Amino acid sequence: MIGFFGNITPPDVFKSDKYGDFSTPGKGIVFFANNILKLLIVGAGIYAFINLIVAGYEFLGAGGDAKKVEAAWKRIWQSLLGLAFVAGSFVLAAIFGWLIFKDPKAILSPQIYGPND
C-alpha cells in the first residue's frame, strides 16, 4: 500500500547500520539523539575552555583594577563550575545506571529492543 505522499526513501547517509534500520521503530532515533547529546557536551567543553582563556586574558589585563579582577575571577569560577556540572552529569548517570540496571553505561548508551530483537 502506498501512503498519501508515496514511497519516501531516506538518504543514503541514513541507510548505514550505525543509525539502524528505519523499518524498526526507535532504533535510528536513539543513535541520532545520542550523537546530538555528545555534540552538545563537546560544545560545552569547548565553550568553557574558550571562556577560561578569555577570562585569563581579562585577569592579566586588569592592571590592578579591583572590579576587573573580580569580574575575571567570577568568569573563571563560572567556567569551572560549568565544567564540573558537565562532568558530574556523566558520573551521576553512571552511578544511577549501575544502581538501577547493574550497568554503568545503561543510561549513557541506551538500547531499545523491538519485537524482532
Give a yes or no: residue 18 inside a domain. Answer: no
Q: Is the pTM of this model over 0.95?
A: no
Give a yes or no: residue 108 inside a domain. Answer: no
Number of domains in the chain: 1
Instruction: Assign 19 a pLDDT band (cuts: 50, 70, 90).
Output: low
Give a yes or no: residue 17 inside a domain. Answer: no
Give a yes or no: residue 67 inside a domain. Answer: yes
43 is in which domain, residue-wise?
24-101
pLDDT for 92 equals 93
pLDDT tens digits, one per residue of 24-83: 555 667 777 778 888 898 899 899 999 999 999 999 999 889 999 999 999 999 999 999
Give a yes or no: residue 15 inside a domain. Answer: no
Provide mean pLDDT across the span 6-11: 70
Give a yes or no: residue 13 inside a domain. Answer: no
Cα 99 to the center of its chain, rounded Å: 22
Give a yes or no: residue 46 inside a domain. Answer: yes
Give a yes or no: residue 91 inside a domain. Answer: yes
Q: Distance (Å, rounded) from C-alpha 79 to C-alpha 96?
A: 26
